[in-house]
Amino acid sequence: MQKIKPKQLKKHRLLDQGVALLLEKGYHATGLKEILDTVQIPKGSFYNYFDSKEAFAAAAITHYIEPFIIRLSGYLDDPEADGLAALRSYYLGLVTDVEQAGFKGGCLLGNLMGEIGDTCPLCQKALLDAVDRYSNLQKSALERGQRQGSVRLDRSAKSMADLMLNGWQGALLRMKVEQSIAPLKACCKDLLDDYFKA
């Protein structure tokens, strides 16, 4: 097993803390000093890891999406598993997680899209890359479902993956306001248990 270098460990801790604070407070209300103080790294050392706050936020976006990519990939590891059923299991797991977290945070991607998606080119690129990776993985699940006969064929897997992503983001916003998982469950039911089915 390869040992993680101290610098990599500190960078990872910075990103973990950054993701948590960006989810809680947003980009503009999150100060570098707060992040650095929590991780106990001097302010001057920050620039050994990141060129700017924008570069840090872009790295935090990539850091944030990775566990979701890994988790969804885990549901799709078995090539014989039904693509639609795998997608449903994945999303129902997210619903449970959100409920246990007390409806806090939502999705960092959606939050930052609304806050800085059109004002910070570096973060805009990171957001687009994260969304593309996430959407493409869901598209592959739906394509598998189409080959297996569980997913409708009169719509492209890409359009359905985009619809799932867009619907989920909207449901997360409503969840935060309503303090309820009902919008998330409705999104899953309407799309994964109805609209996408063959």
What is the sign, positive or negative, of the torsion defined by CA atoms of 123, 19, 32, 179?
positive
**Cβ distance 83 to 142 under 8 Å?**
yes
pLDDT tens, residue by residue, 41-77:
888 888 889 999 999 999 999 999 999 999 999 999 9
pLDDT tens, residue by residue, 133-170:
999 999 999 999 999 999 999 999 999 999 999 999 99
**Cβ distance 197 to 150 under 8 Å?**
yes
- Here the tokens at position 114 are 């609304």
Instruction: State residue 7's pLDDT score.
Output: 74
Domain 55-195: which CATH class? mainly alpha
- Cα angle 104, 163, 73; round to 5: 70
pLDDT tens, residue by residue, 100-129:
988 887 899 999 999 999 999 999 999 999
Give residue limits of the domains in the chain: 55-195
Q: Residue 1 pLDDT more than 70?
A: no
Q: Residue 103: exposed, middle, or buried by beta-carbon count in 10 A (0-12, 13-18, 19+)?
A: middle
Q: Whole-prediction pTM value? A: 0.91
Sorting pLDDT into bands at 50, 70 and 90, what band is 2? low
